[in-house]
Amino acid sequence: MKFEEVSFDLDDKNLFLVDDLKLKADAIRHSILPKLEIVTNETISILTNVFHSNPLELSTVLKFPNFRKNRTTDFAINYTEAQAGLGSKRNRILWSEVKRSNGEQPMVLPFSLTYCLDEFGFRFYFTTTRYGLKLKDYSLFHSYHLQHKEEIDMLVMESSTHLSLLFEDYKKFALKPKKEFFDAMLNEKRWELMYFSKTLQYSIDNESISSLLQQYITFYPIYENYIKLSSGNSFDFEPQLDLLRKFLIQIEEAEFEETDEEILQTEKFTSQQLLEIAEKKI
C-alpha cells in the first residue's frame, strides 16, 4: 500500500470495539498498525527533505502494539489504541546530559512524537512521560521552554496543537502563563507535558491525513530539540524555522496552483454554456 492509499474508515474504528481481546489485538496489529507505519515512513521521508538531516540519527520508529506475530503465549491485554512515530534510540551512551531518578544513565528517553488511532479518531501527540520513566533533573528542559518561548509557542500554534492540562492538579494553571505551570513542575521534580493535535474523526480520507502529517512536521523541531539537548548536541531554532518556512510556503503555492487550474477549467466554458448554467439556477 502507498501513502496515497492510506485512509481510516468505520471498519477500522470498530476494531477497537471488539470484545474478543486476542482477535482485537491481532486485528489492530495486522490491519491498522501497517497503515500507521506507512504514514510514519512518509513523515520521515518528508522530514529528511525539509530539514536536510536524518531524523533517525538519534530517534527510532516506535510501534504499538508491537508483540511478536508468531507469539505462542496468549494474553489478556485490552488494546484501546495503535501508535507509530518517533522516540529516542535505546542507547545509554547517547544520553549524556540526563540521568534517571536513581542517578543512572538512561537507556531510553521518555520523549516521543507519535501518531495515534483509536475509536475516537486519528491524531498525534508529544509526551515527556513515555514508559513512565522519570529523570533526576528537568532544569535543562525547563530552561528550554522559557528561553525559546516565542519559537515554541509559534510552532504550537502553526501545528494546531495544544498543551493539555489533563491531570487534576494541573487544571489550576489553565489560562495562566505557562511559566507558572513549568515552574510548579520543576519544583515538584516532574515534567509531565503532553501536546495534542486536533483529532480527525471517522471516516478519515488521505487528504485529511496529509494535512495532519504537515502539522506533525511543523511541530517536529520541538521534539527534535528535546532529543538533541539530552545528547549534548547543540541546536539552533533559526535555521530550523527557515527550512520549515520554505516547506510551508511551497505547500501554499501548490494549493494556489491547484485553485488556478480549477479556475482555468471553468474559463473553458463558452459564453453560451455559462448562460445556460446560470439559467438553471433561476
Does a structural domain hold residue 266?
no
Does a structural domain hold residue 265?
no
Residue 219, SS3?
helix
Rg over alpha carbons for the chain, rounded to the nearest Å, is 22
Q: How confident is the model at residue 69, as a pLDDT?
A: 62
Q: How confident is the model at residue 252, as a pLDDT?
A: 87
For residue range 86-124, list pLDDT tens digits in order: 999 999 999 999 999 999 999 999 999 999 999 999 999
What DSSP string runs through 168-198?
GGGGGGTTS-HHHHHHHHHHTT----EEE-P
Q: How confident is the model at residue 71, as a pLDDT?
A: 62
Of 173, 253, 228, 186, residue with least CA distance to 51: 228
For residue range 197-209, list pLDDT tens digits in order: 999 999 999 999 9
Distances 41 to 3, 81, 93 between C-alpha atoms, Å: 9, 19, 26
Does a structural domain hold residue 116?
yes
Quick one: what percent of the chain has pLDDT higher than 70? 87
Q: How confident is the model at residue 171, as a pLDDT?
A: 79
Question: How many distinct structural domains can be found in the chain?
Answer: 1
Read off the pLDDT of each residue in 229-248 and give the average, rounded to a whole number: 95
74-78, 160-164, 243-247: the lowest-pLDDT one: 74-78
Backbone phi and psi for residue 115, each to the nearest 5 degrees, phi listed first:
-80, 150
CATH code at position 196: 3.30.930.20
Does a structural domain hold residue 171?
yes
Does a structural domain hold residue 120?
yes
Of 182, 109, 187, 190, residue with least CA distance to 142: 182
Which residues fall within 8 angstroms of residue 90, CB to CB, at 6 or more apart?
60, 107, 108
Does a structural domain hold residue 78?
yes
Q: How confident is the model at residue 21, as a pLDDT?
A: 87
Q: How far is it, in rounded angstroms, from Cα 139 to Cα 141?
A: 5
Which residues fall within 8 angstroms of residue 220, CB to CB, at 6 or more apart?
47, 51, 55, 113
Quick one: what percent of the chain has pLDDT higher than 90? 74
Does a structural domain hold residue 276?
no
Average per-residue pLDDT for the chain: 90
Does a structural domain hold residue 255?
no
Its domain, for residue 63, covers 3-235
For residue range 205-227, list pLDDT tens digits in order: 999 999 999 999 999 999 999 99
Q: How confident is the model at residue 231, as a pLDDT?
A: 96
Q: How confident is the model at residue 72, as a pLDDT?
A: 56
Residue 262 has pLDDT above 70, yes or no: no
